[in-house]
Structure 1
Amino acid sequence: MRRNDLLLLALLAIALDPAAPAKPIPVRHVQRPMHRFMVARSEAGKTIANGEFSQSVQGDEVTMRMTYKFVDGSIDDETTTYRQQGTFRLVRNHHIQKGPFFTKPIDFSVEAATGIATSRTADSKGNLHVESKHMDLPADLANGFVGTLLLNVPHNTSPFRAAMLAPVGGGRLVQLLISPDSEQAVNLEGQTVKATVFRIHPELGGVVRLIARLLGLEPKDVMVWVLEGDEPAVAVIVGQLGGYGPVVSSDLVGTRFEK
Structure 2
Amino acid sequence: MSRWFPVIVLMALSASVSAMEVPVRFTEGTMHGFLSVRSMTGEQIAQGKALQVAKGEQVETRLVFHFKDGSLYDEKVTFTQQRIFTLQKYNLIQRGPSFPEDLEVTMDRGAGQYTVRTQADKDAPEQVTTGTLELPVDAYNGMMVMILKNLPKGVSETVSYMAFLPAPTVIKLEIWPVDETKITVGEIAKQATQYRMEPKMAGLKLLFGRLFGKIPRDWHYHFVILTEEVPAFVQFEGPLHYKGPVVQIGLLSPYITEPEVTNSSK
TM-score per shorter chain, which class? 0.7 to 0.9
**CA deviation after TM superposition for structure 1 residue 220, in Å:** 1.8
Choose from 81, 104, 107 the match for 1:107.
104
In structure 2, the residue matched to 1:257 is none
Go from structure 1 to structure 2 and tell me whether the alpha carbon gap of 1:102 and 1:21 turns closer, same or farther (over 3 Å shift): same
Whether the 8 Å CA contact 2:103–2:119 is kept in 1: the answer is no
Q: List aligned pairs for 1:1-259, cutoff 5 A.
A: 8=3, 21-122=18-119, 125=123, 127-157=125-155, 159-205=156-202, 208=206, 211=209, 214-215=213-214, 217=216, 220-254=219-253
Go from structure 1 to structure 2 and tell me whether the alpha carbon gap of 1:54 and 1:34 turns closer, same or farther (over 3 Å shift): same
Give the structure with the larger helix fraction: 1
Q: Which amino acid aligns with 1:156?
A: G
Whether the 8 Å CA contact 1:201–1:220 is kept in 2: the answer is no
What runs of 5+ residues in structure 2 fail to find an aligned partner?
6-16, 254-266
CA distance in 1, matches of 2:98, 2:171: 24
Whether the 8 Å CA contact 2:102–2:119 is kept in 1: the answer is no
Name the SS for the 1:110 alignment partner: strand
Q: Which amino acid aligns with 2:248?
A: S
Whether the 8 Å CA contact 1:89–1:139 is kept in 2: the answer is yes
What runs of 5+ residues in structure 1 fail to find an aligned partner?
12-19, 255-259
CA distance in 2, matches of 1:171, 1:42: 30
CA distance in 2, matches of 1:191, 1:55: 27
What CA deviation, in whole Å up to 9, does each residue of 1:28-70 have, x standing for no partner?
Answer: 0011201000101001110000011110012331111000111
TM-score (norm 1): 0.83
Aligned alpha-carbon RMSD (Å): 2.5
Go from structure 1 to structure 2 and tell me whether the alpha carbon gap of 1:91 and 1:8 turns closer, same or farther (over 3 Å shift): closer
**Runs of 4+ displaced beyond 6 Å:** none
Name the SS for the 1:114 alignment partner: coil
Q: Which amino acid aligns with 1:170?
A: A
What percent identity do the matched residue pairs reach?
Answer: 27
Which of the pair has the greater relative contact order for Cα pairs under 8 Å at 6+ separation?
2
Which structure has the larger Rg over C-alpha atoms?
Answer: 2
CA distance in 2, matches of 1:186, 1:170: 41
